[in-house]
Amino acid sequence: MSEDQLRTSHRFLDCLYWNLFMAIPFLTACVAISKGSTVWMIVYILTSILVLWVVVFKFFCTHCPHYVQSEDTVKCMFIHWVPKYFQPKPGPYDFVEKAIVALALLIWVVFPFYWLASHPGLLLIYIVSLSVFVATIRRYECARCIHFDCPTNIVPEDARKRFLEANPHQTDGLS
Within 8 A by CB and 6+ apart from 141, the residues are 7, 77
Listed residue (55, 1, 53, 6) closest to 26, CA to CA: 53
Single-letter residue type at 141? E
Each residue of 46-94: pLDDT tens digit? 999 999 888 999 999 999 988 888 788 999 999 888 899 899 998 899 9
Cα R_g (the chain), whole angstroms: 17
pLDDT in tens for each of the 175 residues of the chain? 444 589 888 999 999 999 999 999 999 999 999 999 999 999 999 999 999 888 999 999 999 988 888 788 999 999 888 899 899 998 899 999 999 999 999 999 999 999 999 999 999 999 999 999 999 999 999 999 999 999 999 999 999 999 888 877 665 544 4
Annotated domain spans of the chain: 3-166
